[in-house]
Structure 1
Amino acid sequence: MRRDGADISRLPMLELRIVRSVETRSTRPESRPGKYDISERATYEGELRDHPVEPPKDPARSRKVELVLHGSVRTVACGCDEGRQPCSRCRAKGKLSCETGPLCPACKGVEPCTWCDGTGRRRKDRAPAGPSRERNAAGRTTCLKCRKQRTACPQCQGRGTEKCPKCDDTGFRDCPVCEGERSTEHTPCEGTGLVTRWTGGSVGHTPRRDTVELPDPAPPLRVRWQAGRTGAWRRATLTSTDEPIPEALDPAHVKAVEAALAPRPDEVARRAEIEWLQLVAVTIPDEPDHVFHVFPGSDGPEVLPIWSRRRSLRVAAVVAGVVVALLLVAALV
């Protein structure tokens, strides 16, 4: 547009922020141990997709509604043994093999018994008792394994190890999981022997945000910053898909806004915030080095002069020439 020798270009500014509440629905079998009370949950009948659920008042908030299919709740026997299950640690034996105690500090496990070596059976290389063995039997005692007299270490009595404090040398100790009872509480029913089952429905609302970028050509960055800070922006908020867009929008923005506001699949609520500002760029023949950007401010029109492309190119050429000259001087030195 040209008026009184000045070139006027429209550069309207636009900001559009949309938050939509998108709904998802799903069903699944659910269960809880024992007699579980779900009377506080709302119920639905038939197909979950046909059940009405009010959209959230604030589409920017996430929400999940838990429902129960009418008539699906039942409490049944778990199938375990009255709330118990065989212990998996000891395999329902109640006992575990106990490790041997530490070596006897007296014999160090070497010849704990001169007759059986702690096995309870006569060693094949042992000869019948004679005078030499009788002389070496001093200080020995009866072996607990083979019951021979004056053959065993007096401290470990033929075991080769110290007495085990866990099993009292029986070789077995109580299972630490079931404590010797051979069974444990059945986890799925928490020992009740009962399970409550039902068909659950879930309706979720998730916010999804979109923005619309400023259509080209965009004003210079400095202009956008100043206009965002002091410009008298006009605003509108749309909360439904059938609300018309503001008539005051610039025609250059209408198509972009309509495309952005098109309904999305599974959208149940929305909030669209539109802000726009009329902005023009004015070029005056008497000021070829500047472009004057004019927009409405809080106290009236504001004018922001910006270097024109012509001046920017001229300054860039001068700077480039200075750099080349400096490089040449540096090369000659």
Structure 2
Amino acid sequence: MAGRPSDAEVIEEVEAHARRRGVAGGPTGPGAEAPVWQVLLDFRIVRSIETRGERAMREPGSRDDIAKRPTYTAIGSHPVPAPTDPEEAGARLLVREGSLTEEQCADCHGGTNKCEACRGRGTRDCVRFVDCPLCEGGPDACWECEGTGRSRSRRPPHLRAGASAADRAARVRCARCRVPDVACPKCRGRRQLDCPACHKSGQVECAACSGGKRVTHQECRGTGRFTVWTEGWIHHNPHRARERRLGRLDLRRPTGNLGRWHETVLRRTTDKLPADLDESDEALLTPLLTPRKNEVARRATLRLLPLAHVRVHADPHRDYFAFPTHTGIKVITRPTTERFRHFAAIATASALLVALVAVLAVTSLR
């Protein structure tokens, strides 16, 4: 791969880095082994996939905006430019040539129908009288005649059972039996009041049509007509795929920030992968570049970083990694896998020991 430093350059930088870390070696240096090269890889591809179709449309009223849309004769062959950016989703709406027309609504008369709630009268029947809300239209409407106009108790009002002085003070003359201080102050002994909705007329305005006798036809939204056409649609939607090989997790951040990644962008289905790509990487990525059905645009971005793994004899518990940067060769160190597992085992054993001591301490206190 172009830009990869030589093994000798890598060994020189690794040994210089080891000496700066204070690693002592033999007379010839810390003793770096020959580097083992690997390639970190980050591949992403986004395709714009096109779908087309038709559907019958029927909308209320006159749709002047529909006539302004582009027309087509065959949706499958209608030419549409591919999106400049395959990441962007888009949709085009078209009208099939000769399909746009208007038709009258068959279920109404000029956009309205006779009100079914009042049967076209504009009013609805209503009770003329309602029970008094104070005495509830019961016998308590009058202590003397119970709202009938004829005396039933045959006793003076002040002897009525349960009639306190405050009750008698709130009472008025009965409009039926004419006895004073015995009737409900609201209905005056009549038990009923004039209906507040119709004012005793027996008719109220229809709430459904507001007295107009006709209501708007909701299906055509009161227009009395429909706009009818065949709509063609063309959608562009992004589809993404990705392949990554970034090595050890503890390497990703520094190499991603400091490494000199080699980037290649492929925009056409005929574009080829870099000629110096490793055969294994080419075999991995080639299937991802196979054109998909209805693919109209793409952008594939391939980023590669050659990375050398070096072991230093005088520092057996560290792995050295070297990779090219914009200023030369960068070297970083990480604990070896064996060392990492060793410390992980110690940490696990320590945690188990602490837990065991805690259990024994609790047991001894019981």
The TM-score bracket by the shorter chain reads 0.7 to 0.9
**TM-superposed deviation, 1:164:** 1.8
- Which amino acid is 1:200 matched to? E
Are 1:171 and 2:202 counterparts? Answer: yes
Describe how 1:168-247 pairs up with structure 2 within 5 A.
Answer: 168-214=199-245, 219-247=247-275
Separation in 1 of the partners of 2:186 and 2:335?
Answer: 104
- Which amino acid is 1:195 matched to? F
Are 1:77 and 2:77 counterparts? Answer: no
**TM-superposed deviation, 1:9:** 2.1
Quote the residue 2:86 is aligned against: 59
Describe how 1:39-188 pairs up with structure 2 within 5 A.
Answer: 39-46=67-74, 48-79=75-106, 80-98=108-126, 102-104=130-132, 108-110=136-138, 140=175, 160-188=191-219
- Which amino acid is 2:81 matched to? E
Describe how 1:260-299 pairs up with structure 2 within 5 A.
Answer: 260-299=288-327
Separation in 1 of the partners of 2:329 and 2:213?
Answer: 89
Structure 1, residues 93-152: CA drift from partner, whole Å, max 9, x if none?
433343666523687424789xxx99xxxx9xx9xx9xxx9xxxx96469xxxxxxxxxx
The answer as to whether partners of 1:87 and 1:182 remain within 8 angstroms in 2 is yes
**TM-superposed deviation, 1:211:** 1.5
SS in 1 for 2:95: strand
What TM-score do you get using the length of structure 2 for normalisation? 0.69
State which of 23, 30, 46 in structure 1 corresponds to 2:50.
Answer: 23
Moved more, 169-178 or 314-323: 314-323
Moved more, 252-261 or 185-194: 185-194
- Which amino acid is 1:289 matched to? H
Separation in 1 of the partners of 2:63 and 2:350?
Answer: 84
What TM-score do you get using the length of structure 1 for normalisation? 0.76
SS in 1 for 2:281: helix
Separation in 2 of the partners of 1:159 and 1:33?
Answer: 55
Query: How many residues end up aligned between the 2 structures?
Result: 303
Moved more, 71-80 or 251-260: 251-260
Q: Report the structure, 1 or 2, having the larger helix content.
A: 2
Separation in 2 of the partners of 1:141 and 1:259?
Answer: 101
Structure 1, residues 248-307: CA drift from partner, whole Å, max 9, x if none?
433332122212222222222111111111112112334322221111011101111222
Quote the residue 2:169 is aligned against: none
The answer as to whether partners of 1:78 and 1:194 remain within 8 angstroms in 2 is yes
Moved more, 182-191 or 77-86: 182-191
State which of 32, 35, 39 in structure 2 corresponds to 1:8.
Answer: 35
Gapped runs of 5+ residues in structure 2? 1-6, 12-31, 155-172, 178-183
Separation in 2 of the partners of 1:66 and 1:6?
Answer: 65
SS in 2 for 1:15: strand
Moved more, 58-67 or 183-192: 183-192
Moved more, 93-102 or 169-178: 93-102
Separation in 2 of the partners of 1:179 and 1:318?
Answer: 85
The answer as to whether partners of 2:70 and 2:94 remain within 8 angstroms in 1 is yes
Separation in 1 of the partners of 2:91 and 2:227?
Answer: 22
The answer as to whether partners of 1:68 and 1:200 remain within 8 angstroms in 2 is yes
Separation in 1 of the partners of 2:355 and 2:59?
Answer: 81
Quote the residue 1:256 is aligned against: 284
**TM-superposed deviation, 1:71:** 0.4
